Amino acid sequence: MTGNHETIAAISTAMNNSGIGIIRISGDRAFDIIKKIFRPADPEKDLDQVKSHSVHYGTIVDQDQVLDEVLVLIMRGPHTYTREDTVEIDTHGGMFVIRQVLECVLRAGARAAEPGEFTKRAFLNGRIDLTQAEAVIDLINAENQYALKSAVTQLKGSVSAKIREQRALLLEQIAYIEAALDDPEHIEMEGYGKVLYPKLEEVCRCVEDLIRSADDGRIIKEGIRTVILGKPNVGKSSLLNALVGSDRAIVTQIPGTTRDALEESIRLKDVTLNIIDTAGIRNTEDVIEKIGVDKARDYAAEADLIVWMIDSSGPLDENDIEAARIAAGRKTIILLNKQDLPGVTDKDLLLRELPEDIARQMAQVPVIGISALKESGLEEFGNCVCHMFYNKDIDFNDQVYITNIRQKEALIEARESLSRAMESIQNQMPEDFFTIDLMDAYSLLGNVIGESVEDDLADEIFAKFCMGK
């Protein structure tokens, strides 16, 4: 347990009018506080004697004034979210009455909780580790089905299990080396490097897999960075408006209307697209438009997905080819727009018109005919995006995704320590050299799950949580 005997309280539901509002109280004095302000409908009921995880009807009273009819949930530690004695008060959902009840709780002896303090106590009291705590906020912020599944899997301890398994393997090797160094007469170390090396390779492979999963994990959590690329007037802004469902971008027949990037986040099928509509790719003497074109190139270089749009009602020109050059070699979907007009350019003609080196790179790129104006072909586009990024059934019970940059950085540092240990073995260094780097790797893996995290880092992590969680 934390040893922090302060009892905290906060509103745990959204800060607006609703059917029900919940106030959570956690700490050693939670039951004493609720007994001061709660009047059960049954006057004979003694809250000290009721069963844990039971619900009781009555009223909240402040100096003989009834504030609200409520339901009170009594939950005894350690079988609670924080592992402390916990009370939840279910009030009617008007913000005024919720605040009145919270103020009554605070006057009765509780302290207002800080953001994320309930989850922080769950972590400090050993109910969850740091990866599970971070999964809580991922769960709250999930915007698509994949992000939700990933967060739930991490909350169940999928990352923790992988990390603990590798730490146990390292600890076993460290303990053997230390014991051998202390008692060389009875514990043989001759040739132990050859035994240790493949075991470290196994740990390193697991850490590498987790690091590699971080790119997919970022896409699952944050969405796909998507750049709409093409020459002026091919329909990029019309596509953005169609996907967003509103006139987000200005659409005119004047080339170069879009000069700065427009960014929108949308949900398409079960994925999130963070879409950037860029300035049309063309040679221009307009200084401001040229800056927009340069920014379009920069955005494309950082994109997870490029949507290259072509006006299928007209022939390709040098600006189309320049856009193709930017997209070549990157994850791309080609949209042949303006299918509502008589067609001139199709996939076969497109590949024939492109320079040979670019055509080879574009040969396997998906090509979809759409009309952004008529909003046709968008479903096929959505299916293509899902297939491109999730082209296999994702089983979150088996696959673990790192979705947190803090975790990824700790894993990278752990991998470097493991690499140094393996290099020491290859160079036939003394065994005590191994243990320095192995202990570093063990400690860094511990940072991932919060076994040796500094207080200021924990404070920073939990400060990102919403109030009442």
Which pLDDT tens digit goes with each residue over 25-80?
999 999 999 999 999 999 899 998 999 999 999 999 998 899 999 999 999 999 99
Q: What average pLDDT score do residues 433-453 get?
A: 88
Mean pLDDT of 112-140: 90
Mean pLDDT check: name the lowest of 164-168, 244-248, 287-291, 445-449. Answer: 244-248
More confident residue, 82 or 145: 82
112: β partners: 9
Pick from 191, 43, 75, 161: nearest CA to 398: 161
Asked if the model's pLDDT at residue 465 lies above 80, the reply is no
Distance of CA 331 to the CA centre of its chain: 22
Q: Domain 133-218+404-450: what homologous superfamily?
A: tRNA modification GTPase MnmE domain 2 (1.20.120.430)
Q: Domain ranges for the chain, please list them.
A: 8-128, 133-218+404-450, 224-389
Confidence of residue 314 (pLDDT cuts 50, 70, 90): confident
Query: For residue range 344-385, what is the model confidence (pLDDT) as tens digits?
Result: 888 888 888 888 889 898 888 999 999 988 889 988 998 898
Give the chain's mean pLDDT: 85
Predicted pLDDT of residue 9: 96
* 221 contact partners, CB below 8 Å, separation of at least 6: 138, 142, 147, 150, 403
- Checking if the pLDDT of 2 tops 80, the result is no
Least confident interval from 223-237, 253-267, 320-334: 253-267
Q: Are 431 and 181 a contacting pair, CB within 8 Å? A: yes
DSSP for 285-350 reads: --HHHHHHHHHHHHHHHH-SEEEEEEETTS---HHHHHHHHHHTTS-EEEEEE-TTS-----HHHH
Summarize the confidence of residues 206-227 as an average pLDDT: 87
pLDDT reading at 332 higher than 80: yes
How many CB atoms neighbour CB 313 within 10 A?
A: 16
204: pLDDT strictly greater than 70: yes
CATH topology of domain 8-128: Gyrase A; domain 2 (3.30.1360)
pLDDT at 91 over 90: yes
> What is the pLDDT, as a whole number, of residue 372?
87
Q: Which H or E run contains 111?
A: strand 111-112
Q: Of the ranges 81-90, 227-236, 278-287, 457-466, which one carries the lowest mean pLDDT score?
A: 278-287
Specify whether domain 224-389 bears CATH 3.40.50.300: yes
How confident is the model over 392-403, as pLDDT tens digits? 444 444 568 888
In the chain, the percentage of residues whose pLDDT exceeds 70 is 90
Question: Three-state DSSP class for 92?
Answer: strand
| Closest among 50, 12, 21, 13 to 34, alpha carbons compared | 50
| E strand segments, 201-288 | 224-229, 262-268, 271-277
pLDDT value at position 250?
39
- Specify the pLDDT at position 396: 46
pLDDT for residue 236: 84
pLDDT given at position 251:
39
Read off the pTM.
0.74
pLDDT tens-place string over residues 144-193: 777 888 888 888 888 999 999 999 999 998 888 888 877 777 777 777 88
